[in-house]
Amino acid sequence: MKRSIQRPTPGSLTFFSSSMGSPKKKLQGLVAATITPMTEHGEINFSVIGQYVDYLVEEQGVKNIFVNGTTGEGLSLSVSERRQVAEAWVAKGRNKLDQVVIHVGALSLKDSQELAQHAAEIGADGIAVIAPFFLKPWNKDALINFLKEVAAAAPTLPFYYYHIPALTGVKIRAEELLDGIQDKIPTFQGLKFSDTDLLDFGQCVDQNRQQQFAFLFGVDEQLLSALVMGATGAVVPITTWEKRQTRCWRLSNERTSLQP
């Protein structure tokens, strides 16, 4: 049975060439890793994305989102579907969300470049990329070359590396990758670190303090430990959090930021 896609109706979405506010400050704090809403028939349910935005902003006080990542099952969607989902989030978040970061990683370099260019065209605020995981990069230089090609397709957007070795099988340490990365990728702004190796994460923070990178942590169970080590934010599936947990994290963040 052919799978059909429930597409946005013509004229329902409006896009702008500029970003959603062209990040005035570093991406930090809580960032919602959004799910991709589906109907019971496996079609993308675009009709609820506006409600989803309102829930994040009004109920959780979260105004930064990470679209088409692991939680959003982006790699299980077609390129066309990923484009449509990104379009819907950017459009529905206009004047409500601060930053919309689109994950554009793919096994195909051309697909990833297409998604990166599309993110820039629709007014996203940043892009993120995981390492390709079929034919894996064998060292730091090979991985950076791949990331550089993707970043170049959207030269006006902040670029984030999505480090998730449990999914990709790419064991190149994030600390090693970050060494001199802005010389190769001038738009590099930070790291989404979704790994349990806190030593690696701590070294990322300690050795790159002057660069003012965004260090976003993505393993819920170790989040408070990462915060103590210098995480500047977290990418989490907010739909699984109760409001009191969100407030607890913010309070811990505020206290940590006051420490010398």
Single out the residue of 79, 150, 80 nearest to residue 120, CA to CA: 150
CB-based contacts of 219: which residues, under 8 Å, 6+ apart? 193, 194, 195, 196, 226
Give residue for tokens 């690696």. Answer: 200
Contact, 226 vs 196, CB < 8 A? no
Contact, 74 vs 35, CB < 8 A? no
CB-based contacts of 206: which residues, under 8 Å, 6+ apart? 230
CB-based contacts of 238: which residues, under 8 Å, 6+ apart? 30, 32, 33, 56, 60, 62, 246
The one-letter amino acid code at 50 reads: G
The most distant pair of C-alpha atoms in the chain lies apart, rounded to whole Å, by 61
Q: What residues act catalytically?
A: 162, 192
